[in-house]
Amino acid sequence: MSPPSILSLPPLDPTLSTPPLRRTALNTTITASETDEHLYLLDCSSSSNNVRNRSGEISLTTQPATVKLGEIRAERVVKEMRAERVVKEMHLSKSFQGARLNELEENERVIAELKPTIQQTRTKVARKEEFFVSSNIIVAFSPEHFRVSGSTVTRINSQSWAGCFTKPVSKGIHRLSIRTQANCVMIGVLDAAEYPEYLTREVYRSSKAAMMNTSNGYLGSAYKPVGQNTPPQEGQEWSAEADLEKRTLHFFIDGVQQPHHFINIPVPLVFAIDACVKDVPIEITFWGETQSHVTFEGTGYNLG
């Protein structure tokens, strides 16, 4: 059977002259109406919303959204800001706690390092309070080594050398004079900051001590003799005179100036008596501020 001729086909229905509508996939788009704050969604979910009429126009229906665009954006921004703030606060909190922990650990370390120094200072203060006897000329001494009564100092044992001291002085001219039968006594001055260390040991050990031995007339410091004056005889008065302005220390026997002396002595200072002979009293015949008795320069030895 031969195919029908195109001329034999029935005429087309005029109502179908417009091609039928073919649905295409449309992306749902959010837009804002000019007359309303609400969002509108283009709803393309059913064929009733997309109908091509005879003139070829497409009718689209819309429905309002449930939230406002400004509210969505504001809520999102607030959430992001809160989340960011929480994160920052967590980091800051951890950083602060870490810094605080490091600070506490450092404080504990410093305190541990300072404990020996603090204890030594407390010991020195206690020793000062123990050894100071303000009613005597000699105001700092060890009761285990010396007996002090007014102007008389006596060693009560002979285990080793030990020092006893006047109060500190920092200006003017001061003089200390003694008389004794002992042949193992030294007289001189010591840096005021060092005397607690020499309450139970030999003052002559210190490099900041300027001493003279009454048994042989030797001047020395830190076990180093630097010169020799005339040794005093028994019963003679032995004096040490310090000029704190000129920083000199001169020696006298019965008021006669000796040729050898010290220069650059420490200031402030204490006068010191260093003794090791037991039960031989040392009488202090003078102590206090005075006028200079120096009449010539002599030979000076630098203590600095």
The mean-pLDDT minimum among 25-34, 86-95, 142-151, 291-300 falls in 25-34
Confidence class for position 257, pLDDT limits 50, 70, 90: very high
Confidence class for position 30, pLDDT limits 50, 70, 90: very low
CB atoms within 10 A of CB 193: 13
State the first-to-last Cα distance of the chain, in angstroms, to the nearest integer.
143
Can you tell me whether residue 123 is helix, strand or coil? helix
Can you tell me whether residue 239 is helix, strand or coil? strand
pLDDT at 27: 41
- Whether residue 33 has pLDDT greater than 60: no
**32 φ, ψ to 5°?**
-110, 135
**Tokens standing for residue 144:** 């285990």
What is the average pLDDT score of the chain?
74
- % pLDDT > 70, the chain: 65
C-alpha span between 74 and 266 (Å, rounded): 79
pLDDT at 295: 93
Domain 146-302: CATH class, spelled out = mainly beta
pTM listed for this prediction: 0.56
- Whether residue 187 has pLDDT greater than 90: yes
pLDDT at 231: 85
**70 φ, ψ to 5°?**
-60, -40
Please state, in angstroms and as integers, the Cα–Cα distance from residue 175 to each residue in 74, 137, 274, following that order: 91, 12, 16
DSSP letters of 273-302? EEE--BT-EEEEEEEEE------S--EEEE
Domain map of the chain by residue range? 146-302
pLDDT digits (tens, 9 = 90+) for 221-243: 877 888 899 888 878 899 999 99
Smallest Cα–Cα separation from 172: which of 294, 291, 304? Answer: 291
Smallest Cα–Cα separation from 163: which of 173, 171, 153, 172? Answer: 153
